Structure 1
Amino acid sequence: MTDSPDAIRADIENTRRELGSDVDALADKVTPSKIVHRQTDKVKEAVGGVKERIMGAADDARDSASSAAGSAGELPHKVVAKAEGNPLAVGLIAFGVGLLAASLIPASSKEKDLASSIKDSAQPLVDEVRSAANDVAGNLREPAMDAAAAVKETATDAAAAVKEQATSSADEVKSGAQDARDAVSGS
Protein backbone atom coordinates (compact mmCIF):
# COMPACT_ATOMS: atom_id res chain seq x y z
CA MET A 1 0.00 0.00 0.00
CA THR A 2 1.29 3.45 -0.82
CA ASP A 3 1.56 6.31 1.64
CA SER A 4 1.09 9.03 -0.96
CA PRO A 5 -1.76 11.40 -0.07
CA ASP A 6 -2.74 11.63 -3.75
CA ALA A 7 -2.90 7.83 -3.99
CA ILE A 8 -5.00 7.66 -0.82
CA ARG A 9 -7.38 10.31 -2.20
CA ALA A 10 -7.61 8.41 -5.49
CA ASP A 11 -8.38 5.18 -3.59
CA ILE A 12 -11.10 6.96 -1.61
CA GLU A 13 -12.65 8.38 -4.79
CA ASN A 14 -12.55 4.94 -6.47
CA THR A 15 -14.20 3.40 -3.42
CA ARG A 16 -16.91 6.08 -3.45
CA ARG A 17 -17.59 5.54 -7.16
CA GLU A 18 -17.74 1.75 -6.77
CA LEU A 19 -19.98 2.05 -3.73
CA GLY A 20 -22.27 4.48 -5.55
CA SER A 21 -22.60 2.17 -8.54
CA ASP A 22 -23.22 -0.81 -6.24
CA VAL A 23 -25.98 1.09 -4.44
CA ASP A 24 -27.53 2.13 -7.76
CA ALA A 25 -27.37 -1.46 -9.05
CA LEU A 26 -28.98 -2.72 -5.84
CA ALA A 27 -31.72 -0.12 -6.06
CA ASP A 28 -32.32 -1.08 -9.70
CA LYS A 29 -32.41 -4.77 -8.81
CA VAL A 30 -35.05 -4.40 -6.05
CA THR A 31 -37.33 -1.97 -7.88
CA PRO A 32 -40.64 -3.86 -8.33
CA SER A 33 -41.25 -2.58 -11.85
CA LYS A 34 -37.78 -3.82 -12.91
CA ILE A 35 -38.45 -7.21 -11.31
CA VAL A 36 -41.76 -7.50 -13.16
CA HIS A 37 -40.08 -6.47 -16.42
CA ARG A 38 -37.29 -9.08 -16.01
CA GLN A 39 -39.80 -11.83 -15.21
CA THR A 40 -41.96 -10.85 -18.18
CA ASP A 41 -38.92 -11.00 -20.47
CA LYS A 42 -38.04 -14.47 -19.14
CA VAL A 43 -41.56 -15.75 -19.78
CA LYS A 44 -41.62 -14.24 -23.27
CA GLU A 45 -38.27 -15.89 -24.10
CA ALA A 46 -39.49 -19.24 -22.80
CA VAL A 47 -42.73 -18.99 -24.77
CA GLY A 48 -40.77 -17.98 -27.87
CA GLY A 49 -38.52 -21.04 -27.54
CA VAL A 50 -41.47 -23.37 -27.07
CA LYS A 51 -43.27 -21.69 -29.97
CA GLU A 52 -40.26 -22.24 -32.24
CA ARG A 53 -40.07 -25.92 -31.31
CA ILE A 54 -43.80 -26.40 -31.79
CA MET A 55 -43.95 -24.43 -35.01
CA GLY A 56 -41.09 -26.57 -36.26
CA ALA A 57 -43.16 -29.68 -35.44
CA ALA A 58 -46.19 -28.17 -37.20
CA ASP A 59 -44.05 -27.38 -40.26
CA ASP A 60 -42.76 -30.96 -40.25
CA ALA A 61 -46.33 -32.27 -40.08
CA ARG A 62 -47.43 -29.95 -42.90
CA ASP A 63 -44.46 -30.95 -45.07
CA SER A 64 -44.99 -34.63 -44.47
CA ALA A 65 -48.72 -34.22 -45.10
CA SER A 66 -48.21 -32.33 -48.34
CA SER A 67 -45.59 -34.77 -49.56
CA ALA A 68 -47.76 -37.77 -48.78
CA ALA A 69 -49.49 -39.31 -51.71
CA GLY A 70 -52.74 -39.54 -49.80
CA SER A 71 -55.88 -37.48 -50.22
CA ALA A 72 -56.69 -34.18 -48.48
CA GLY A 73 -58.79 -36.11 -46.00
CA GLU A 74 -55.64 -37.70 -44.51
CA LEU A 75 -54.11 -34.36 -43.39
CA PRO A 76 -56.19 -33.90 -40.20
CA HIS A 77 -55.48 -37.49 -39.20
CA LYS A 78 -51.73 -37.01 -39.59
CA VAL A 79 -51.71 -33.79 -37.53
CA VAL A 80 -53.81 -35.45 -34.81
CA ALA A 81 -51.46 -38.45 -34.87
CA LYS A 82 -48.45 -36.13 -34.53
CA ALA A 83 -50.07 -34.36 -31.54
CA GLU A 84 -51.14 -37.66 -29.96
CA GLY A 85 -47.56 -38.80 -30.16
CA ASN A 86 -46.43 -35.71 -28.18
CA PRO A 87 -48.98 -34.66 -25.55
CA LEU A 88 -46.33 -32.53 -23.83
CA ALA A 89 -46.22 -30.31 -26.91
CA VAL A 90 -49.99 -29.85 -26.83
CA GLY A 91 -49.83 -28.95 -23.12
CA LEU A 92 -47.01 -26.50 -23.71
CA ILE A 93 -48.93 -24.86 -26.55
CA ALA A 94 -51.94 -24.40 -24.28
CA PHE A 95 -49.76 -23.08 -21.47
CA GLY A 96 -47.97 -20.68 -23.85
CA VAL A 97 -51.26 -19.37 -25.21
CA GLY A 98 -52.45 -18.78 -21.64
CA LEU A 99 -49.26 -16.94 -20.69
CA LEU A 100 -49.39 -14.85 -23.83
CA ALA A 101 -53.00 -13.90 -23.15
CA ALA A 102 -52.15 -13.06 -19.53
CA SER A 103 -49.26 -10.83 -20.59
CA LEU A 104 -51.47 -8.92 -23.03
CA ILE A 105 -54.12 -8.16 -20.42
CA PRO A 106 -53.34 -4.92 -18.59
CA ALA A 107 -52.55 -5.10 -14.90
CA SER A 108 -55.56 -4.84 -12.62
CA SER A 109 -55.85 -2.14 -10.01
CA LYS A 110 -55.18 -4.76 -7.32
CA GLU A 111 -51.93 -5.77 -9.05
CA LYS A 112 -50.95 -2.11 -9.39
CA ASP A 113 -51.73 -1.54 -5.71
CA LEU A 114 -49.63 -4.56 -4.74
CA ALA A 115 -46.73 -3.40 -6.91
CA SER A 116 -46.98 0.06 -5.40
CA SER A 117 -47.05 -1.30 -1.85
CA ILE A 118 -44.04 -3.52 -2.59
CA LYS A 119 -42.20 -0.52 -4.00
CA ASP A 120 -43.13 1.54 -0.94
CA SER A 121 -42.01 -1.31 1.32
CA ALA A 122 -38.69 -1.63 -0.51
CA GLN A 123 -37.98 2.11 -0.52
CA PRO A 124 -36.86 2.21 3.15
CA LEU A 125 -34.39 -0.58 2.34
CA VAL A 126 -33.03 1.36 -0.61
CA ASP A 127 -32.78 4.49 1.54
CA GLU A 128 -31.08 2.50 4.29
CA VAL A 129 -28.52 1.09 1.87
CA ARG A 130 -27.83 4.55 0.46
CA SER A 131 -27.50 5.92 3.99
CA ALA A 132 -25.12 3.11 4.94
CA ALA A 133 -23.05 3.79 1.82
CA ASN A 134 -22.86 7.48 2.68
CA ASP A 135 -21.92 6.61 6.27
CA VAL A 136 -19.14 4.34 5.05
CA ALA A 137 -17.87 7.07 2.75
CA GLY A 138 -18.05 9.58 5.61
CA ASN A 139 -16.29 7.17 7.96
CA LEU A 140 -13.51 6.69 5.43
CA ARG A 141 -13.00 10.43 5.03
CA GLU A 142 -11.58 11.02 8.55
CA PRO A 143 -9.12 8.07 8.55
CA ALA A 144 -7.95 9.12 5.09
CA MET A 145 -7.35 12.67 6.29
CA ASP A 146 -5.52 11.29 9.35
CA ALA A 147 -3.40 9.09 7.12
CA ALA A 148 -2.63 12.03 4.84
CA ALA A 149 -1.62 14.13 7.85
CA ALA A 150 0.59 11.30 9.13
CA VAL A 151 2.22 10.96 5.74
CA LYS A 152 2.84 14.70 5.60
CA GLU A 153 4.32 14.66 9.11
CA THR A 154 6.54 11.70 8.25
CA ALA A 155 7.72 13.44 5.08
CA THR A 156 8.47 16.61 7.04
CA ASP A 157 10.41 14.64 9.66
CA ALA A 158 12.31 12.77 6.95
CA ALA A 159 13.19 16.02 5.19
CA ALA A 160 14.46 17.49 8.46
CA ALA A 161 16.51 14.36 9.15
CA VAL A 162 18.02 14.44 5.65
CA LYS A 163 18.85 18.13 6.05
CA GLU A 164 20.48 17.50 9.44
CA GLN A 165 22.43 14.55 8.05
CA ALA A 166 23.55 16.62 5.06
CA THR A 167 24.68 19.47 7.35
CA SER A 168 26.54 17.03 9.59
CA SER A 169 28.18 15.35 6.61
CA ALA A 170 29.18 18.73 5.19
CA ASP A 171 30.73 19.70 8.52
CA GLU A 172 32.64 16.40 8.63
CA VAL A 173 33.91 16.89 5.09
CA LYS A 174 34.92 20.46 5.90
CA SER A 175 36.68 19.33 9.07
CA GLY A 176 38.40 16.51 7.18
CA ALA A 177 39.50 18.92 4.49
CA GLN A 178 40.86 21.33 7.12
CA ASP A 179 42.77 18.49 8.81
CA ALA A 180 44.16 17.42 5.43
CA ARG A 181 45.22 20.99 4.64
CA ASP A 182 46.85 21.33 8.04
CA ALA A 183 48.66 18.00 7.54
CA VAL A 184 49.87 19.08 4.08
CA SER A 185 50.96 22.51 5.42
CA GLY A 186 52.73 20.98 8.38
CA SER A 187 54.74 18.55 6.27
Structure 2
Amino acid sequence: MSDSPDAIREDIEKTRRDLGLDVDALADKVTPSKIVDRQVGRMKGAVTSVRERIMGAADDSGSALRDTGSSAVAGVSDAGRQAVAKAQGNPLAVGLMAFGAGLLIASLVPASEKEKSAASAVKDQAQPLLDEAAGAAREMGEHLKEPAQEAVAAVKDTAAEAASHVKEDATGAAGNVTDRARDAGQQVQGG
Protein backbone atom coordinates (compact mmCIF):
# COMPACT_ATOMS: atom_id res chain seq x y z
CA MET A 1 0.00 0.00 0.00
CA SER A 2 1.29 3.45 -0.90
CA ASP A 3 1.69 6.28 1.55
CA SER A 4 1.07 9.05 -0.97
CA PRO A 5 -1.99 11.21 -0.28
CA ASP A 6 -3.32 10.75 -3.84
CA ALA A 7 -3.15 6.95 -3.60
CA ILE A 8 -4.88 7.04 -0.22
CA ARG A 9 -7.65 9.29 -1.64
CA GLU A 10 -8.13 6.94 -4.60
CA ASP A 11 -8.33 4.00 -2.23
CA ILE A 12 -10.90 5.81 -0.08
CA GLU A 13 -13.00 6.72 -3.16
CA LYS A 14 -12.87 3.11 -4.40
CA THR A 15 -13.94 1.87 -0.97
CA ARG A 16 -16.80 4.41 -0.92
CA ARG A 17 -18.00 3.28 -4.38
CA ASP A 18 -17.86 -0.38 -3.37
CA LEU A 19 -19.64 0.36 -0.11
CA GLY A 20 -22.29 2.38 -1.97
CA LEU A 21 -22.92 -0.53 -4.34
CA ASP A 22 -23.16 -2.94 -1.40
CA VAL A 23 -25.60 -0.65 0.43
CA ASP A 24 -27.75 -0.29 -2.71
CA ALA A 25 -27.79 -4.07 -3.22
CA LEU A 26 -28.69 -4.63 0.40
CA ALA A 27 -31.45 -2.01 0.29
CA ASP A 28 -32.85 -3.67 -2.83
CA LYS A 29 -32.77 -7.04 -1.11
CA VAL A 30 -34.61 -5.92 2.04
CA THR A 31 -37.19 -3.61 0.45
CA PRO A 32 -40.60 -5.10 1.33
CA SER A 33 -42.03 -4.68 -2.16
CA LYS A 34 -39.02 -6.49 -3.69
CA ILE A 35 -39.32 -9.29 -1.15
CA VAL A 36 -43.01 -9.71 -1.97
CA ASP A 37 -42.26 -9.73 -5.72
CA ARG A 38 -39.63 -12.45 -5.26
CA GLN A 39 -41.92 -14.57 -3.09
CA VAL A 40 -44.85 -14.22 -5.51
CA GLY A 41 -42.60 -15.30 -8.37
CA ARG A 42 -41.39 -18.32 -6.41
CA MET A 43 -44.92 -19.36 -5.49
CA LYS A 44 -46.17 -19.01 -9.06
CA GLY A 45 -43.30 -21.13 -10.28
CA ALA A 46 -43.86 -23.74 -7.60
CA VAL A 47 -47.59 -24.00 -8.31
CA THR A 48 -46.96 -24.32 -12.03
CA SER A 49 -44.33 -26.98 -11.47
CA VAL A 50 -46.49 -28.98 -9.09
CA ARG A 51 -49.46 -28.81 -11.44
CA GLU A 52 -47.35 -29.99 -14.36
CA ARG A 53 -45.75 -32.83 -12.44
CA ILE A 54 -49.00 -34.07 -10.96
CA MET A 55 -51.43 -33.53 -13.78
CA GLY A 56 -49.00 -33.95 -16.66
CA ALA A 57 -47.73 -31.48 -19.22
CA ALA A 58 -50.18 -28.98 -20.66
CA ASP A 59 -51.10 -29.08 -24.34
CA ASP A 60 -49.10 -27.14 -26.94
CA SER A 61 -51.19 -23.98 -26.50
CA GLY A 62 -49.92 -23.70 -22.92
CA SER A 63 -46.23 -24.08 -23.78
CA ALA A 64 -45.52 -20.39 -23.19
CA LEU A 65 -46.87 -20.64 -19.67
CA ARG A 66 -44.86 -23.79 -19.09
CA ASP A 67 -41.67 -22.05 -20.22
CA THR A 68 -42.32 -19.13 -17.88
CA GLY A 69 -43.11 -21.48 -15.00
CA SER A 70 -40.04 -23.63 -15.54
CA SER A 71 -37.77 -20.58 -15.48
CA ALA A 72 -39.30 -19.49 -12.19
CA VAL A 73 -38.92 -23.00 -10.74
CA ALA A 74 -35.17 -22.40 -10.57
CA GLY A 75 -35.74 -20.21 -7.51
CA VAL A 76 -37.95 -22.65 -5.61
CA SER A 77 -36.51 -23.82 -2.29
CA ASP A 78 -35.33 -27.38 -1.69
CA ALA A 79 -38.28 -28.07 0.61
CA GLY A 80 -40.72 -27.21 -2.16
CA ARG A 81 -38.89 -29.44 -4.62
CA GLN A 82 -38.86 -32.33 -2.18
CA ALA A 83 -42.60 -32.00 -1.56
CA VAL A 84 -43.27 -32.00 -5.29
CA ALA A 85 -40.99 -34.99 -5.84
CA LYS A 86 -42.78 -36.96 -3.15
CA ALA A 87 -46.19 -36.05 -4.53
CA GLN A 88 -45.31 -36.93 -8.12
CA GLY A 89 -47.00 -40.14 -9.15
CA ASN A 90 -48.68 -40.51 -5.76
CA PRO A 91 -52.44 -40.02 -6.14
CA LEU A 92 -52.99 -40.33 -2.38
CA ALA A 93 -50.67 -37.38 -1.71
CA VAL A 94 -52.41 -35.37 -4.42
CA GLY A 95 -55.78 -36.19 -2.87
CA LEU A 96 -54.60 -35.19 0.61
CA MET A 97 -53.21 -31.92 -0.71
CA ALA A 98 -56.47 -31.19 -2.51
CA PHE A 99 -58.44 -32.07 0.63
CA GLY A 100 -56.25 -29.74 2.70
CA ALA A 101 -56.68 -26.92 0.21
CA GLY A 102 -60.45 -27.48 0.18
CA LEU A 103 -60.56 -27.52 3.96
CA LEU A 104 -58.63 -24.26 4.09
CA ILE A 105 -60.95 -22.61 1.57
CA ALA A 106 -64.03 -23.96 3.38
CA SER A 107 -62.80 -22.50 6.66
CA LEU A 108 -62.59 -19.07 5.05
CA VAL A 109 -66.16 -19.15 3.72
CA PRO A 110 -68.81 -18.07 6.26
CA ALA A 111 -71.39 -20.67 7.32
CA SER A 112 -74.79 -20.61 5.63
CA GLU A 113 -78.08 -20.51 7.53
CA LYS A 114 -78.66 -24.22 6.80
CA GLU A 115 -75.25 -25.09 8.23
CA LYS A 116 -75.91 -22.95 11.31
CA SER A 117 -79.28 -24.61 11.93
CA ALA A 118 -77.79 -28.09 11.42
CA ALA A 119 -75.01 -27.28 13.88
CA SER A 120 -77.56 -26.03 16.40
CA ALA A 121 -79.60 -29.23 16.04
CA VAL A 122 -76.52 -31.39 16.53
CA LYS A 123 -75.56 -29.34 19.58
CA ASP A 124 -79.04 -29.77 21.07
CA GLN A 125 -78.91 -33.54 20.48
CA ALA A 126 -75.42 -33.80 21.94
CA GLN A 127 -76.22 -31.80 25.11
CA PRO A 128 -77.58 -34.83 27.08
CA LEU A 129 -74.39 -36.73 26.22
CA LEU A 130 -72.27 -33.81 27.40
CA ASP A 131 -74.23 -33.62 30.65
CA GLU A 132 -73.84 -37.36 31.18
CA ALA A 133 -70.09 -37.16 30.51
CA ALA A 134 -69.74 -34.26 32.96
CA GLY A 135 -71.64 -36.25 35.62
CA ALA A 136 -69.43 -39.28 35.06
CA ALA A 137 -66.33 -37.08 35.37
CA ARG A 138 -67.61 -35.59 38.65
CA GLU A 139 -68.38 -39.06 40.01
CA MET A 140 -64.96 -40.32 39.00
CA GLY A 141 -63.37 -37.30 40.69
CA GLU A 142 -65.25 -38.04 43.90
CA HIS A 143 -64.14 -41.68 43.82
CA LEU A 144 -60.52 -40.66 43.27
CA LYS A 145 -60.56 -37.98 45.98
CA GLU A 146 -60.14 -40.39 48.92
CA PRO A 147 -57.25 -42.43 47.37
CA ALA A 148 -55.52 -39.17 46.45
CA GLN A 149 -55.81 -37.90 50.03
CA GLU A 150 -54.43 -41.21 51.32
CA ALA A 151 -51.52 -40.96 48.90
CA VAL A 152 -50.77 -37.41 50.06
CA ALA A 153 -50.82 -38.55 53.70
CA ALA A 154 -48.48 -41.47 52.88
CA VAL A 155 -46.06 -39.11 51.14
CA LYS A 156 -46.11 -36.77 54.15
CA ASP A 157 -45.42 -39.67 56.53
CA THR A 158 -42.56 -40.93 54.36
CA ALA A 159 -41.07 -37.44 54.16
CA ALA A 160 -41.31 -36.97 57.94
CA GLU A 161 -39.68 -40.37 58.50
CA ALA A 162 -36.88 -39.55 56.04
CA ALA A 163 -36.31 -36.19 57.76
CA SER A 164 -36.06 -37.96 61.11
CA HIS A 165 -33.47 -40.41 59.72
CA VAL A 166 -31.47 -37.56 58.23
CA LYS A 167 -31.54 -35.72 61.56
CA GLU A 168 -30.38 -38.81 63.44
CA ASP A 169 -27.59 -39.46 60.92
CA ALA A 170 -26.48 -35.83 61.05
CA THR A 171 -26.41 -35.85 64.86
CA GLY A 172 -24.36 -39.07 64.88
CA ALA A 173 -21.98 -37.71 62.24
CA ALA A 174 -21.55 -34.47 64.22
CA GLY A 175 -20.71 -36.50 67.34
CA ASN A 176 -18.13 -38.51 65.38
CA VAL A 177 -16.54 -35.34 64.03
CA THR A 178 -16.41 -33.86 67.53
CA ASP A 179 -14.78 -37.01 68.91
CA ARG A 180 -12.20 -37.13 66.11
CA ALA A 181 -11.41 -33.47 66.53
CA ARG A 182 -10.89 -33.96 70.26
CA ASP A 183 -8.64 -36.98 69.62
CA ALA A 184 -6.65 -35.04 67.01
CA GLY A 185 -6.27 -32.12 69.41
CA GLN A 186 -4.98 -34.44 72.12
CA GLN A 187 -2.51 -36.04 69.71
CA VAL A 188 -1.19 -32.62 68.68
CA GLN A 189 -0.76 -31.54 72.30
CA GLY A 190 0.75 -34.83 73.33
CA GLY A 191 2.91 -35.20 70.22
TM-score, length basis structure 2: 0.35
| Larger RCO, structure (CA 8 Å, separation 6 or more) | 1
TM-score, length basis structure 1: 0.35
